[in-house]
Structure 1
Amino acid sequence: MKRICSAVLLLSMAAAAHAQSASGSSVTLYGVLMEGLIYSNNSLKGSSIGTANGPSRWGFRGVEDLGGGMRTLFVLEGGFNPNTGSAAQGSREFGRQAYVGLQDEGWGSLTFGRQYDLTQDWLAQYSSPLMWNGYTATVGDNNNFNYQFRTNNAVKYVSPSYRGLQAGLLYSFGGVAGSFGNQSAVGFGLNYAQGPLKLSAAYMRMNHPASAASEGLWTTSQFASISANSPTVSYAIAPTSMELYGAGGSYAITKTTSVAMVVTHSRFDNLGVAQLGLTHGRASYTNIEANASHYFTPAYQVAADYVYTTGSIQPTDFSPKYHQFSVINNYFLSRRTALYVTGIFQLAAGDAQHANIEYASGSGGASSSKRQVAVTAGIFHRF
């Protein structure tokens, strides 16, 4: 029955996608397919190679013109693994986004549903994972710029742009009976865009994120650094809260050359790590990222990215540090299809004993040394 209902939904929405009224109402079917191979020189003491599953997705985006400068808008978007065809984001049908709302030229937009928070909307735009591909995320994706989880039950307001400046607010209802704030989230931010310059600042806090956003990396190598000597251990964690804030900006020097920088601080409070006997641990990370890109020809783009991450793990006083360098090559066969090759080098420092590139670790494991190299190559297609 579920498959029949899904088929009816797809057919009806696909039919609607062909019908666009003169009033400006429309429904659009869209998607992204990203596939390739990833090589790591050292994953658990050995080299590895496997398929690289990028942020593939498909969805529907729609608007209805209500007149007087107001319109209804919605997005239904699901992620999937092109290697297996399985749904991503915890096997949700529309796990990436699912929201509906109203937008007005004078007062802004108000949306309801599963959405991105304002750090993802406005800070991630300056980060390499969003601009080019997800393989260059910070250690453990601790700032969630690789979109490991979204915010459920969210109400988000974004103001209209006034001389390039916008403000945003988000609140997520936890939905836990008898505990109004148990799995709730709150966020706010400012975004400025005028000519070649963009600037943003944003804040997000989520209570009990392992329950509120269960598809996140809550069993993850990002906290394996609590143990200084084992690259193979990944602990199941259950922080009482996650907090993330930061600021960033970009500048288009010319039509072909741009630079960007973003600084974020993430904190995970009251970690429960049963394997280490911790019940009130804390992990915090500061990430400083700078990048630049240049089109040598209309079809060939090269980008370089550097991320410095410093962490603090309590109560062990463990202070890991990481330097990550990336070079991204994109060759556009058309406006919708590109071939990519990305090289990533990470150096662990401070108390960190093992390099841990996000996607290299996902396919194999952390390095057995302080150095790790990963190379990805594949195809990106947008429809």
Structure 2
Amino acid sequence: MKNPCMRAAALAATTLICANVCAQSNVTIYGVVDEAAAYASNQNGNSNTYMRSGSLSASKIGFLGTEDLGGDLQALFLLESGFEADTGAQSVAGSLFNRQAYVGLQSRAWGSVTAGRQYTPYYLLVGSLASSNILTGATGAHPGDFDGLDTTVRVNNSLTYSSPVWRGLQASTQYGFGEAKDGNGAGSSFSAAVKYSASPAEFALGYLKLKNGQNSNAAGWSDTASGNFGVSAINQGYVSAESIQFVAASARYTFGKFMVGANASNVQFQAGSASAFRDTAVFNTAGLVASYQAAPALFLSAGYSDTRAAHANDISDRARYRQLSFEQNYALSKRTALYAIEARQLAHGQTLGASGNVVNAVASIGDSQNGTPSSNGGQTAVMLGLKHAF
């Protein structure tokens, strides 16, 4: 385009178009880079000192966008990818936006409807008050995060409705389409939760049901299921379940610089005709958590949980897991923090191994040791790290 007037006109038109688009829509890029030096006293029989990504907050990058559609209506989307800061690899190989990927509509008066890969209302409302959020899932989640109160449960092909907050009360429900052709809802999921906040107290109650996929068999959880979950030494004997039911409640109370909270969960791994176990396996957990803002830059927290399994599947001495966790967080700025986290877990009794045989229970702290449990009933973990949010 050689004509100066034409070039100027084109530039002016492009500027006007861009200004119009930018005025109506907004995209935010955000993320976290979190890296720690970690020590575990026993990982499959040996102690280990290593680097670990995402010990306080998961390392991730996300894109959050909204567009004003007029009146009280907005379009929104979220794309979030987790990565390993120590290697640069994706947190889930072959899945770019492995944490969340959804699109939807929202209104201040009517709430929001979103569709895609999402967290469950069970986690978003109940988990937000649980130990995994106040401490960290790496060492503060209940053993193996078997009750899904941290971020290990995500649901594909899901449709979620969340109400607006009305006088401190919010409700949300979600359905995950199993997309099986048999019409029986194989691989589907359902979650519902309510949360009530009236400072200084908060309370939440939630439900989640995950169904195995259409190709479910004794080999484990089908990749056709809409919902996945964390697998560890705590629940590896029950991954061939026909379905899993989660019920949990959490509450906390804040007074001044102190916060105290309590949580409880009931998880049932329900057997089917192709499962590697016979009886429904039930795990009950009770937990306590507390925090203290010791100084403007110093945050301290601690948590304790006690998990007990019910008698079933020829187990005479049912498994029990007790875990104590601590966190010290020093903010260098609003975006950068140094932290230390520590935890100790004791396990005893019996559970089912991966092949469905009765084995001695072993310790597996939080959800940081899901693939590296202890070889016995004790495990200690210590992590020292640096977190930067942008």
TM-score range (shorter-chain normalised) is 0.7 to 0.9
Structure 1 residue aligned with 2:99: 96
Structure 1 residue aligned with 2:310: 312
Structure 1 residue aligned with 2:39: 39
Structure 2 residue aligned with 1:216: 229
Percent identity reads 32
Correspondences of 1:240-319 after superposition (within 5 Å): 240-254=242-256, 256-270=257-271, 278-312=276-310, 314-317=312-315, 318-319=317-318
Structure 2 residue aligned with 1:229: none
Is the 2:205–2:250 contact (alpha carbons within 8 Å) kept by the matching residues of 1?
A: yes
> 1:378 is matched with which residue: 356, 377, 385?
385
> Cα RMSD over matched residues?
2.5
Is the 2:177–2:226 contact (alpha carbons within 8 Å) kept by the matching residues of 1?
A: no
Is the 1:282–1:313 contact (alpha carbons within 8 Å) kept by the matching residues of 2?
A: no
> 1:366 is matched with which residue: 351, 369, 374?
374
Distance 1:103 1:360, change over 3 A: closer
Name the TM-score, length of structure 1 as normaliser.
Answer: 0.84
Structure 1 residue aligned with 2:357: none
Distance 1:85 1:271, change over 3 A: farther
Size of the aligned set, in residue pairs, is 350
Distance 1:176 1:371, change over 3 A: same
- Residues of 1 paired with 2:366 and 2:321: CA distance? 12
Is the 1:127–1:262 contact (alpha carbons within 8 Å) kept by the matching residues of 2?
A: yes
Distance 1:18 1:201, change over 3 A: farther
Is the 1:271–1:282 contact (alpha carbons within 8 Å) kept by the matching residues of 2?
A: no
Q: Alpha-carbon deviations, 1:121-145, whole Å to 9, x = none? A: 0111122322332212222211122
- Residues of 1 paired with 2:158 and 2:124: CA distance? 14
Letter in 2 for 1:53: S
- Residues of 1 paired with 2:33 and 2:285: CA distance? 29
Distance 1:324 1:236, change over 3 A: closer
Task: Give, in angstroms, the shift of residue 268 of structure 1.
Answer: 1.3
Is the 1:112–1:155 contact (alpha carbons within 8 Å) kept by the matching residues of 2?
A: yes
Distance 1:359 1:272, change over 3 A: farther
Structure 2 residue aligned with 1:205: 209
Structure 2 residue aligned with 1:227: none
> 1:66 is matched with which residue: 64, 69, 74?
69
Task: Give, in angstroms, the shift of residue 273 of structure 1.
Answer: 9.3
Q: Which moved more, 1:291-300 or 1:128-137?
A: 128-137
Distance 1:213 1:284, change over 3 A: farther
Q: Alpha-carbon deviations, 1:315-341, whole Å to 9, x = none? A: 123511111111101011111111111
* Residue aligned with 1:344, SS: strand
Structure 2 residue aligned with 1:355: 363
Structure 2 residue aligned with 1:175: 179
* Residue aligned with 1:221, SS: coil
Is the 1:236–1:273 contact (alpha carbons within 8 Å) kept by the matching residues of 2?
A: no
- Residues of 1 paired with 2:19 and 2:371: CA distance? 40
Letter in 2 for 1:200: A
- Residues of 2 paired with 1:213 and 1:80: CA distance? 22
> 2:160 is matched with which residue: 156, 161, 178?
156
Structure 2 residue aligned with 1:9: none
- Residues of 2 paired with 1:149 and 1:182: CA distance? 18
Task: Give, in angstroms, the shift of residue 21 of structure 1.
Answer: 4.2
The answer to whether 1:343 aligns with 2:342 is: yes
Q: Alpha-carbon deviations, 1:50-86, whole Å to 9, x = none? A: 1222221111001111221111111111111122222
Task: Give, in angstroms, the shift of residue 147 of structure 1.
Answer: 1.5
Structure 1: tracts of 5 or more residues without a match: 1-16, 225-234
Letter in 1 for 2:382: V
- Residues of 1 paired with 2:101 and 2:72: CA distance? 24
Runs of 4+ in 1 over 6 A off after TM superposition: 17-20, 271-274
